[in-house]
Amino acid sequence: MSKDRLPLADLIVRYRTPLNIVVLIVCGLWAAWIAWITRPAAIDTPSSIAAYCMRDGN
């Protein structure tokens, strides 16, 4: 009969690749959130993408 619970180290070794992918996704989302929170207020000025694209013609 095998153990129902594996030690944490064994779980980390067994699921190393999925854990790496999850950590990369979480770090990417965290960095994107920080970039979104600290973005310049000038980006908020255009109400739509179309207005932003039309503004480049001036």
**pTM of the predicted model as reported, rounded to 2 decimal places:** 0.50
Domain boundaries, the chain: 8-55
Cα gap 42→27, rounded to integer Å: 26
What's the gap between Cα 48 and its chain centre?
24
pLDDT tens, per residue, the chain with 58 residues: 455 778 888 988 888 888 899 999 999 999 999 998 887 765 655 555 555 555 555 5
Contacts of residue 12, Cβ cutoff 8 Å, sequence gap at least 6:
19
Residue found by looking up tokens 């920080």 in the block: 34
**Sign, Cα dihedral of 7, 22, 31, 47:** negative
Residue found by looking up tokens 């179309």 in the block: 50
